Structure 1
Amino acid sequence: MGERARDILAGRVRPVPARDAATVMLLRDSSQGLRVYMLRRQSTMAFAAGAYVFPGGSVDPRDADHAVAWAGPSPREWGELLGAEEAIARALVCAAVRETFEESGVLLAGPSEDSVVEDTTGDDWEADREALIGRSLAFADFLDKRGLVLRSDLMRPWAHWITPEVESKRYDTRFFAAALPPGQRTRDVGGEADRVAWVLPAEGVAAGQRGEMFMLPPTYTALTELAEFATTEDALAAERRIVPYMPRIAEVGEEIHLVLPETTYGLPGKML
């Protein structure tokens, strides 16, 4: 990793392009306070193995399909919020809703622009979820056959992180926040995760500091920010200014360091 970093700094190697991706912080209230849904990625994964993350993944080219039934802020409005072109914003919002369903079973969509699906359990839903994961079913077709409308108004923009240039797998990720819809529930759907949990943000931050929960800097930062809110309503009502953050690499003496943005709340950088 150190030699690759030096080659990138010297311009001998070009960084891998970052793929557009989306992740969603699903929130719900409990007697102990606000909780967020997290998954632990399997240790065999090529990216962020063993890390606690929120549901999410890279954009499927079909996520930009104009056939997706849509309610709430338009792709153009989302583009203004996310600092992205309209087509990219459309794909990011669709990817966020699709990936959340794929990885948690929660669907931010409904039969009308002011309703939401109450139950996504059952063999037929599971078959559709597997088809979406396998890419044999496009998200637009999934919504169409069920007569559903994507509810973009159920999400709020939260953050924008880009994987450091030194990494061989890179993502340009927008973070969203959304409340768990009434009547729906998450379930352990397997796949890329080997554990799921509803986490109190402050406890997650403390576990990360103790080394009990491995998290990448964007996840740690998001948990730290969520810990400031008592309820889901408070978190979703917060004003967010979306600024892209990308940890950078720097050579200090003969050592290569990953330098984190100040927004990571004191999380130390690391030597590569």
Structure 2
Amino acid sequence: MRIPVPEMLKERAAIAADNPVAPRDAATVVVVRDGADGIEAYLLRRQPTMEFAPGMYVFPGGGVDDADRNAEVPWAGPPPSVWAERFGCSEDIAKGLVCAAVRETFEESGVLLAGPDANSVVADTSGPEFQQARLALEARELTFGAYLADSGLVLRADLLGAWSHWITPIFEPRRFDTRFFVAVLPEGQSVGELARESDRALWAPLSKVLEAVESGASGMLPPTFFTCKEIAGLAASEVLGAAEKRTIRAIQPTLVEVDGELFLESDTGGLA
């Protein structure tokens, strides 16, 4: 896929090519459920004042913190070594990615992929204590590991699936090395109050999401768009199984020149 590069970005791209910013490890989670019009995903629209991807629809997610990598976290499910193999990274980065994925999903949506033990999951996160915890985590007043331990909960890594790996193009001033996860909305849970970084949130049928983006009615970065396209034909019950079968490789859109014009090209393995 090729996307024209706006004129305003061409000079920035030329400068950044010689001195690119190092990308920060990040995780994002496609939380899905079945709806009347097919599979739905929970999407957030970023505030127009945000430095990165303003006004774009995104999945819950964010950067990996030191505490995600280093703090003790009550854990159930596949260990970091399994995630390291799936994503082609070290075990400490893999641990950080999984912790960030679950933490950021809770912070930004109120969906908590954790339970009292390895065979259960929190059934209702609508109470005020959960909202207070979300705010404390977002403000970095509390680490996720400490929150889980104090609440008698364990992170349920088995409720996640590894989906894809995208790296921000070199000309962006803020870059992320992002692993995409998938998860099904736990039974009984619902999304909570809107996260501060967003001005809108919704459960959206992916078939309609794709139509809106393709028509220009909604904005979405290529990694989010392609992930929606890959998942749109599945049922929620099929998503984790589909994730297990995927071969994951890093995709970093690159600049190419065609007939004197610059384009951003992504090798997405044949997706149009």
- TM-score w.r.t. the length of structure 2 is 0.92
How much does 1:71 deviate?
A: 0.4
How do 1:151-166 and structure 2 match up within 5 A? 151-166=156-171
Structure 2 counterpart of 1:270: none
**What SS does the corresponding residue of 1:3 show, helix, strand or coil?**
helix
Distance 1:222 1:123, change over 3 A: same
Structure 2 counterpart of 1:36: 41
How much does 1:126 deviate?
A: 1.3
User: 2:197 and 2:15 mapped to 1: Cα distance?
Assistant: 32
Give the AA of the match of 2:11.
E
User: 1:182 and 1:246 mapped to 2: Cα distance?
Assistant: 35
| Cα offsets for 1:113-144 (capped at 9, x unmatched) | 11101111222211111110000101111101
Q: Is the 8 A contact 2:256 2:264 kept in 1?
A: yes
User: 1:111 and 1:262 mapped to 2: Cα distance?
Assistant: 39
| Cα offsets for 1:62-88 (capped at 9, x unmatched) | 001351000000001111111110000
User: 1:212 and 1:3 mapped to 2: Cα distance?
Assistant: 28
Distance 1:2 1:31, change over 3 A: closer
How much does 1:253 deviate?
A: 5.4
Report the identity percentage: 48
Residue 7, structure 1, aligned to residue 15, structure 2: yes
Distance 1:194 1:124, change over 3 A: same
Residue 185, structure 1, aligned to residue 185, structure 2: no
Q: Is the 8 A contact 2:38 2:206 kept in 1?
A: no
How much does 1:200 deviate?
A: 1.1
User: 1:45 and 1:8 mapped to 2: Cα distance?
Assistant: 21
Give the AA of the match of 2:250.
P
How do 1:1-272 and structure 2 match up within 5 A? 1-9=9-17, 11=18, 14-229=19-234, 231-238=235-242, 239-252=245-258, 254-263=260-269, 265-266=271-272
User: 2:268 and 2:149 mapped to 1: Cα distance?
Assistant: 44
Two-structure CA RMSD over aligned residues (Å): 1.4
How much does 1:254 deviate?
A: 4.7
**What SS does the corresponding residue of 2:181 show, helix, strand or coil?**
strand
**What SS does the corresponding residue of 2:11 show, helix, strand or coil?**
helix
How much does 1:2 deviate?
A: 1.6
How much does 1:252 deviate?
A: 4.2
Distance 1:216 1:263, change over 3 A: farther
How much does 1:257 deviate?
A: 2.5
User: 2:16 and 2:45 mapped to 1: Cα distance?
Assistant: 31
Q: Is the 8 A contact 1:65 1:140 kept in 2?
A: no
Q: Which moved more, 1:38-47 or 1:91-100?
A: 38-47
How much does 1:32 deviate?
A: 2.5
How much does 1:148 deviate?
A: 0.5
| Cα offsets for 1:83-114 (capped at 9, x unmatched) | 11000000000000000000000000001111
Unaligned segments of structure 2, at least 5 residues: 1-8
Give the AA of the match of 1:65.
N
Q: Is the 8 A contact 1:25 1:178 kept in 2?
A: yes
Give the AA of the match of 2:15.
D
Give the AA of the match of 1:175.
F
Give the AA of the match of 2:46.
R
